[in-house]
Structures are given as structure tokens and as C-alpha cells.
Amino acid sequence: MKFDYDVIIIGGGHAGCEAAAAAARYGANSLLITHKKSTIGEMSCNPAFGGLGKSHLVREVDALDGVIGIASDEAAIQYRVLNQRKGPAVRAPRVQADRKIYKKAMQRILSQYKNLTVLENECIGLLIDEGACCGVQTLNSDEKIYAKAVVITTGTFLNGLIHIGKKTYPAGRVGDKPSLHLSDVFQKFGFQLGRLKTGTPPRLDGRTIDWASLEEQQPDKEPIYMSYLTDCIQQEQISCFITRTNDKTHNIIMSNLDNAPLYSGQIESTGPRYCPSIEDKVVRFGERNGHQIFLEPEGLDSHTVYPNGISTSIDEKIQEIMVRSIKGLENVKIERPGYAIEYDYIDPRELKLTLETKKIRNLFLAGQINGTTGYEEASAQGLIAGVNAAINCVGKQEFILDRSDAYIGVMIDDLVTKGVTEPYRMFTSRAEYRLSLRIDNADQRLTQKGIDLGIVKKNRESSFNAKLCAIHNAMSLVTNLTITPNRAKQYGLKINQDGKKRSVLDLISYPNINLTDLYPIWPELSRIDKSVSAQIESNAIYSKYLERQRLEIVSFKKDESLVIPVDIDFNDVKGLSNEARDRVSKMKPGTVGQLSRMEGIDPSTVLKILSYIKAHRKISEMSA
């Protein structure tokens, strides 16, 4: 068979962009198919990146030379760190982004890959040969395009249906038609499909907002960038503003629930629990007298404002009354009403850890089609799917990140072992090893893996090696500089007067001592780069726990990585319940770690299967 491309990527959203870039970086001749070239990199919902758990994903994608971090820094019009008062492991940088600049940056970055072609078309079918995907069929000209691997990243476009009050119409998002053919294709091949829902708030005309009456939220003076390669602010920094709903707002909503698709029975699918609509908030948390709304400008040359916190699909006329009941918005003009969108997704338990489907070889899925929500989650999946699709073309070792490597590994493992009952969102609480999976060390965890794999360009490799050298030198300095308790007391440092010398590293492990506090004693410490000093302080703070976690990870990997033979017949494993046997036979977990985290699988089931594998391995070794 003659192939037109190595990898075809369907969809130009965040997952598609990252998949296309990753495949191209690996060296694959790649084709990105999208409905409109002009909407590549479009931010469908909120104009922001990062936040709790999500910023970890952005940094990890960036550490593997992905594009979301660089593009979001280029478009950033406000930097803020969430959880600033908490420990470094759960601090979360977030950027407010200019929509136009971000999209322009993403399109420019993709255009620089010489082995990546963009085609404006629609995929309506998959070409399958002997259980493997070998290309796609397009709508325009009914063309067949052959490739060694295909990545599907349809976002909310898969049978997308928009709801505004009692009005519904097919769409992938406002202004874009849905993908109406691929769901039938997936059903034809026996994939388990489900239906999920997400939503967006109305867009407001900022010229009609009473800004003077609202609480201002200024940008951070010392920003934390999304990409390790960013070294300066690239756009003007602006403020966001905060207001709140009130009893009047809540009464309007409660009086009109029959005009809210989520409560009228019009929408039956499940939405994101941690990003509920304002109708959901008012019904579920009726005791509260108000809910915060963050008024976020969508761009430097735009007057459109995104009211983060009032996602809604209630009737359009009711939306206007509701919004105008809120302080500062009494005379606001709605530019576009909020809406909910229902869409099809594939049960992610249909996937391997590489995001290749179990039913069809060389077919990969990434993004909201796997039941996730958010730009960051989509981008991370896109990178993994894109690079593994490219790897498949040359038959090399697949690229998998486990739960101790990265939040990306946590997310994908959660998806393929547990599945989803609501749109999946990343949180730091999902990671067992979050003390070592921090935003400040994502490059040290992952960039060398990317270099070894061949997906990290020379400029990032040089920057990374320079940083490693700086960290090594700084660690040597803070380890060798010491002080006696008596002299430390003279500088106002409160430590035990036990006569034992303390190094700088020892001192900054105390919660009340920062590296800057030690500049008067050792001025040379002030010459350490800020990103390096932040890294050293984090390591010092968690030093007592990191060694314990390192040993836990070693133990985890020992059992986690034990492979379950692909040809195992679970009917031969004695003592399994019928339910457990059915679950594992259907899911076919790849490792004991995956098996242990499957829904409905108890420790006794794991032990029985583990004993069976070891016994048969021992027999095989004896007969060899």
C-alpha cells in the first residue's frame, strides 16, 4: 500500500495542534485536517491557561517541547499565581490570554514545521485494513487519504448539539458545524460511546460595564511564565475584576428553571462537576448568598469580556435579566448568549496508555473525545497520541509516562483504567506523588526523556543543559556555605541553639526562612537565578519527604511495571468472581498497576492474577 502521509491528525483544536506538532517534531510526514484553517488554535471557552493542576500539564507539555506554553506566554495579558500562600507543589500559575494573539501564535508555530501540511476538509470515514487504520475518507471530493497512523481529536464536534433555552441546533461550537459522521463509524466498529455536556457563559460588552464599582484584580508584579523558554513579558499586562451574584440573581434563576435545559429534562448528559453552570450552583448550593464572577477581558484590542463563573444555557431573554441583576452589570449589553453543548465521546477504557485504540491498530484518540475537559488536558493527550502515532510508523518503543513521572501519566492512567462518568479535569489531588511532580521541576523530570526520544529541538536542549549546570553549581554553593547557631542568632534567624552548624540548604528548609533572608550573610546567594533558587527552595522544603517518596516510587514501579501477558486467558485464573473475570477480560489491563486501579477490582483479585502470572513465568523459565 502506498501511503500519502505517515500521520493524519483530525481536528485543529488544542489536542490536534499538539498532536500535529509532536508528530512533526518526531520526523513524521504529517497532515492536519480541519474544518477551517482560520480557527486552528481557537480558544472555544475561557481565554485562560493554567490554574490548579492544569498548569502542571502545561509545564510538562512544554518540557517535552510542546507548543501550548510558548503560545500562551506570547498571548498572556495577565499573569497570576493561584495558591500563592501554599506549598510549591500545589502553587498554580495562570495566564489570561489574548484570543487573537494566541491563535495567531499557534498558527505561526505550526506553519514552521516543514513536514506538516494543513488541509481544510472534513473526515467522514476511516480506512481499515486487517484491523489497522490506514487512512481517512474526506467529505469534499470524497477523497481517500492513506497514512500509517491516524489521530482523532474532534473536541466537542462529535455529534455536537448546542442548547440555549428550548432552542437546540447542531454545532461543534458557535459558528462551526459539527462532525456528524464519525460517531457512526465508531459505533460500526463496536466502540462504546457516551454523551457528555459542557457550557460557556454569555460574552459581555466591556464598554457597558461599570468597572468603577467592582473589585480590581491586578496582575502579579513578578510573573511565573508557562514555558521554561520564556524570559520576559511579551504583552501589556491588564487587570481583571470581580463581582458576585446575589439573592435577586438566584431568584431569577430559580423562577425560570423550566427554561434551563439542564433542569427541564432537555439535557440528559453529565457536565463537569468542578465547573458547573450558574443554574447548577444556585440549585446545589442554595444556602450561599452569592457566587464569585471574574470579569476577564478577551484581548487587548477587544471590548469583549468573559464572565468566568456564570456558565449558562438558560433562555436568552432570561440570561439578560439575570446578568443585569449583578453589581456592575446593571446596564450591560450581551454580545453572545451563553450555551450548553452536548457531544459524543469514546469510553477511554477502549484505549491503551499510548492512546491507541484497542480495537483498531494505528488509530489514536486525544482530547475531549476521551471524556476530558480543558485546553491543558487536551494538549497533553495530543502530545502523547501524536508522538506515539509517529513512533508506530517506524516500529520503535512506545512512549509512556507513568503516574510517578508526570501528571500526564496520572491523567492517562486514570482515563484508561477507570473511565469517566463526567468530563475529567486534572487536579493536584489526583497525583499520589505531587511533592515530586511540581511545576518547577517538570523539565528535570521530562526534558531528557524528550531529548532521548528526539522530540526536543536544539534551542530547548541547550537551555535545559545550561539550567542543569546552574542548579548543580547552586546546590554546591548552598550545601557548602554553613553557619553556627550562635552566629545565625545574631542575624535574627530562629533555630535551635544546639551547637550544630547549618548549611544554607538546612536553613531554607525552615518554614520561616527564605533564601532572600540569607543575602545579608552571604551576598553571593543573590546571584543565583530566580528560577534556580525557587527550585532549590522547593527541594529544601520537601527534603524530608522526597526521599520517602522516592522509595515509594521505586516500590510502586516494581509492581506497577509487571506486564500482564497479552495472551493470558483469565478463565484459567482460579478463584476469580464472574464479575471480576468479565471486567479484566473486557479491559485487558496491560500491567498489574493498571489492574489494581480498575473500577470494581479488589486487592484479592489482583493477588490471584499476580500469583498466576508469576507461576506461569516460573514454569516458562524452567522449561527454557
Q: What average pLDDT values come out for the chain (624 residues) when binned by 10 residues?
A: 94 97 98 95 93 95 98 98 81 94 98 97 94 93 91 94 94 88 91 94 98 97 94 96 96 93 87 85 88 96 96 96 98 97 95 96 97 96 98 95 93 92 89 87 96 97 95 94 92 88 92 90 92 87 78 71 86 86 86 82 79 77 58
pLDDT of residue 621: 61
What residues are paired with 375 via a beta bridge? Answer: none
d(CA 302, CA 427): 31
- Are 64 and 457 within 8 A, CB to CB? no
d(CA 544, CA 444): 20
3-class DSSP state of 170: strand
pLDDT of residue 556: 66
Could you list the beta-strand ranges (E) of 153-202: 161-164, 167-170, 193-200
pLDDT of residue 586: 83
For residue 154, give every residue at least 6 positions away whose Cβ sits within 8 Å of its Cβ, in sequence order, or none: 10, 11, 172, 179, 182, 367, 368, 369
pLDDT of residue 230: 96
Please state the length of the chain: 624
The closest of 48, 75, 59, 41 to 237, measured between CA atoms, is 75
Grid coordinates of 216? 480590581
Which element (helix H / strand E) includes 623? helix 603-623
* Helical spans, DSSP H, in 234-274: 247-254, 261-264
